[in-house]
Amino acid sequence: MTKKRVVVTGVGAVTPVGNNVETAWNNVLAGVSGVGPLTRLNADEYPAKVAAEVKDFQVEDFIDKKDARKMDRFTHYAVAAAKMAVEDSRLEINDSNSHNIGVWIGSGIGGMETFESQYETFLSRGYRRVSPFFVPMMIPDMATGQVSITLGARGFNSCTVTACATGTNSIGDAFKVIQRGDAIAMVTGGAEAPITKMSVAGFCANTALSTNPDPSKASRPFDQNRDGFVIGEGAGIVVLEELEHALARGAKIYAEIVGYGATGDAYHITAPAPGGEGGARAMKMAINDAGLNFNEVDYVNAHGTSTDYNDRFETLALKEVFGEHAYKLAVSSTKSMTGHLLGAAGGVEAIFSVLAIKEGMIPPTINYETPDPECDLDYVPNEARKQEVQVAMSNSLGFGGHNATIVFKAYK
Which residues are designated catalytic?
Answer: 164, 303, 340
- C-alpha span between 169 and 174 (Å, rounded): 8
3-state secondary structure of 172: helix
In whole angstroms, give the CA distance from residue 109 to residue 262. 20
Single-letter residue type at 327: Y
Beta-carbon neighbour count of residue 212 at 10 Å? 22
| Helix boundaries (H) for 262-344 | 277-290, 308-322, 335-338
Distance between CA atoms of residues 355 and 409, nearest Å: 11
- Give the Cα separation of 119 and 125 in Å (integer): 10
| Cα–Cα dist 135/141, whole Å | 11
Whole-angstrom distance, CA of residue 401 vs CA of residue 412: 35
For the beta carbon of residue 95, count every other beta carbon within 10 angstroms. 8
Give the DSSP H/E element, type plus range, for residue 99: none
